[in-house]
Structure 1
Amino acid sequence: MLKTRVITAIVLLAVLVPVTLFAPIGAFGALIAFVVVFAAWEWARLLKLTGAGPIVYAIVAALALVASTKLGVGFVAPRPLFEAAAIFWVLVGPFVLIRKPTLAEGGWRAFLLVAGIVTFAACWHALVAARIAGVAFVLSLLLVVWLADIGAYFAGKAFGKHKLAPAISPGKTWEGAIGGWLAVMIVAALAVLTRAFEPTLFYALLEHLGSIRAFIALTLLVAFSVVGDLFESMLKRQAGVKDSSGLLPGHGGVLDRIDALLPVLPLAMLLLG
């Protein structure tokens, strides 16, 4: 299992790193679109679409993504799309985690199929806009989620006692979540103090919002990375599966890798808008 995880990770990095660092924006956008379409396919499967349903949904997501470019790309970012995605995550995300409705039936399924199209399109636009802002910027944006996840894992292992959402993801703890938040804050402070690798999300937030509001903004981004993670965990639990798919051997599915990014990306773009 470990060998499979390592091999998959090496292959993914061999593709993602050169494209992110050196490829033209168009190639970067094409790669992210490829990822997003597969995530849409997994989203439909978790919502229990059967037969050709997930494939049709992925095609619709791809067409909607192309159509959404009419709203703007890159520096002319589609703010209404970010706002719609943010509303979903700020209002619907916590409601679902608290009330735990059955998501793959009736009105909830129809709503989430529509919301998924908006969410995935917003994810794509946010990453393209971040990449246009600079390699350091897009990497720092991704780093918020990566650090929150890694910090939560190690802090949870070392200090975790109080369950965060035992009915949804029994392994997550409040101590882990705080550890992830601390990891983000420490790296953000170091990045701002040293001014290394500018431009970064951290300095952009500080410059745009001031120190106190930048601190609050980063805290919100970390919190909603947890919301995104838990939301997908709830989808998987209700679907009766461990991973969103087996597309990435040893790592689960695409959605398993980007779940925490889905709320963070549009929210970050709005905070800087």
Structure 2
Amino acid sequence: MTKTRILAALVMAPAVIAAVLLLPTGWLMLLSAVVFLAALWEWLRLADVEDALSRTILLACNLALMVALVWGSRSPHAGALPLFQLAVVLGVVWWLLALLWLRHYDFASRHDGNARVFKLAAGTAAVVPAWCALAVIHSSEPHGHRWLLLALLLVWAADSGAYFAGRKFGGRWFAGRKLAPRISPNKTLEGLIGGVALAMLVAVVGALVIGTPAAQLPAVILVAIFTVLFSVAGDLFESLLKRHVGMKDSGHLIPGHGGVLDRIDSVLAALPVFALGKIWLGF
């Protein structure tokens, strides 16, 4: 399984990097919409929507929302995406609310209509703003494509750092306390610290490579910290949904990695936070 995961990652990572660095924003938005909607398809299954026709209709509604945002953000000024920026803010608000949801494990855990409505709304609130954030970051000037790549690298670094730090130091520093034992028993506080530490190193190096002035590095580091912490929340939230329905993976599309949602759950939470921080602090 590990070999399969590594081989799949070696294929996916260069493809993502090439798309971010080489494609114009419009084409990247189109390609990423396909990926994000595929993740939403799996989210709908986690929300107990088993009927394929119902899931197709719900997916079409979210696609229509994306199209409406593009149409409403038309502007003669290149890179001006006002509705997308509003969606980014709403996305961050949603993930703040998701933190409360994570604290109340049993909320919307029943397989009834009310729980399904909450999870369907959560799917739209997670996927659409993340897609908007991707467009906002990539279209920003200067070097928007590099900043988007850095945002993704932060998530990947945090995930890798958490994995190796958790295996090496898990249970040693905090008397065996887990990060969220009911949701993801394998995640440790030591792993979280290791993930944040590696991501901060990537943030500093990446910002310097992009050409960020030294005076702006503290702002980049601050945004990177919140980006990583929210990426962990995104991972935990998908784990919560999977535990509610008793599933190990959101899908089986990617060999060794599960579904599309399993691969981008952290990204969904990270991108709006990074985009808002970048806009707010002006780097």
Which range, TM-score by smaller chain?
Answer: 0.7 to 0.9
Please list, as runs of the form range in 1=range in 2, the aligned pairs for 1:35-184 lying within 5 A after superposition: 35-52=35-52, 53-72=54-73, 74-77=79-82, 78-91=84-97, 93-100=98-105, 101-103=107-109, 104-133=111-140, 134-161=144-171, 162-184=177-199
Partners of 2:258 and 2:124 in 1: CA distance: 21
From the superposition, tell whether residues 40 and 10 of structure 1 become closer, same or farther in structure 2 (CA, over 3 Å): same
Cα offsets for 1:11-38 (capped at 9, x unmatched): 4346433322222322211110100110
Aligned structure 1 segments of 4 or more residues deviating by more than 6 angstroms:
none
Q: Does structure 1 retain, via aligned residues, the 8 Å contact 2:21–2:149?
A: no
Q: Secondary structure at the match of 1:172?
A: strand
1:185 and 2:190 correspond = no
Q: 1:236 aligns with which of 224, 242, 264?
A: 242
Q: Does structure 2 retain, via aligned residues, the 8 Å contact 1:68–1:121?
A: no
From the superposition, tell whether residues 10 and 153 of structure 1 become closer, same or farther in structure 2 (CA, over 3 Å): closer
Q: Does structure 2 retain, via aligned residues, the 8 Å contact 1:244–1:254?
A: yes
Match for residue 261 of structure 1? 267
Q: Does structure 1 retain, via aligned residues, the 8 Å contact 2:158–2:198?
A: yes
Unmatched 5+ residue regions in structure 2? 172-176
Unmatched 5+ residue regions in structure 1? none
Partners of 1:55 and 1:176 in 2: CA distance: 38
Q: Secondary structure at the match of 2:86?
A: helix
Matched positions, count = 263
From the superposition, tell whether residues 223 and 18 of structure 1 become closer, same or farther in structure 2 (CA, over 3 Å): closer
Match for residue 33 of structure 2? 33
Q: Secondary structure at the match of 1:187?
A: helix
Q: Does structure 2 retain, via aligned residues, the 8 Å contact 1:181–1:219?
A: yes
RMSD value over aligned CA atoms? Answer: 2.3
**Superposition deviation, residue 149 in structure 1:** 0.7
Cα offsets for 1:63-105 (capped at 9, x unmatched): 21111213427442422211211111012x1111111113453
Cα offsets for 1:222-248 (capped at 9, x unmatched): 111111110000101111111111111
Q: Does structure 1 retain, via aligned residues, the 8 Å contact 2:166–2:190?
A: yes
1:197 and 2:210 correspond = yes
Partners of 1:156 and 1:75 in 2: CA distance: 42
Instruction: State the TM-score, normalized to the length of structure 2.
Output: 0.84
From the superposition, tell whether residues 154 and 11 of structure 1 become closer, same or farther in structure 2 (CA, over 3 Å): closer
**Superposition deviation, residue 108 in structure 1:** 3.3
Match for residue 12 of structure 2? 12
Match for residue 251 of structure 1? 257
Q: Does structure 2 retain, via aligned residues, the 8 Å contact 1:205–1:272?
A: no
Q: 2:225 aligns with which of 212, 216, 219?
A: 219
Match for residue 174 of structure 2? none
**Superposition deviation, residue 204 in structure 1:** 8.6
Instruction: State the TM-score, normalized to the length of structure 1.
Output: 0.87
Q: Does structure 2 retain, via aligned residues, the 8 Å contact 1:152–1:179?
A: yes
Percent identity over the alignment is 38
The letter of the residue matching 1:21 is L
**Superposition deviation, residue 184 in structure 1:** 1.5
